Amino acid sequence: MPALASLVPLTINYPADHRIESASMLIRVATLSDAVPLAELKRDTFRETFLQDGFDLGYPPDDLAAYEAHTYSVEAVTAQLADPQYRTWVAESDDGGLVGYAHAGPCKLPHPEVADGSGEIHQIYLRRSTQGTGAGRALFDSALDYLAAERPGPVWLGVWSGNAKAIAFYEKAGFRQVGTYDFKVGDSTDLEFIYRR
């Protein structure tokens, strides 16, 4: 399918090869061939957000290594991309490099009102240099449209309690905090807010 010339709302039942151009970014559904660069992007954006250049949460090296191996290895990302219950979108720059992603699927948050079939936006991350370009909003909208089509009902997400910028973005989009939970990074624990819309 040819890329669209400008950012437009996605149709509810768009095909897996649907593509959107946003400014100089291409938003598209990730494929198995993206596993290696996507694993690198996931690791890098997590570090940019939560380590020395971001919130500086200071995870012990062993905790960080265990979390990254479990979550951001090529094998883990390949398994995510191959699972038909989930969908991942990537933002691709003009040079073909991946600069952002969103991941959505079944809700796994520990909240008593999560029902079978509930959907969750699991992750939205952008390289710092890409923030403010509209790519994050395009990824977010792609995930929302997908969940509306595949998992109608409330949409859930978790966000670190100290990430005021992300919290403001989600609240502006109509999400409200409905709980908290402990997020594990190795043996380290972060307080996460549970949001629903």
Q: What is the pLDDT of residues 148-186, one digit of tens each?
A: 999 999 999 999 999 999 999 999 999 999 999 999 998
Low-confidence residues of the chain: pLDDT under 70: 1-23, 52
The pLDDT, as a whole number, for residue 27 is: 97
The pLDDT, as a whole number, for residue 185 is: 93
Which candidate, 80, 94, 75, 196, places its Cα nearest to that of 147? 196
The pLDDT, as a whole number, for residue 160 is: 96
Total length of the chain: 197
Give domain limits for the chain: 19-154
The pLDDT, as a whole number, for residue 8 is: 30
Q: Domain spanning 19-154: which superfamily?
A: Gcn5-related N-acetyltransferase (GNAT) (3.40.630.30)
pTM of the complete model: 0.86
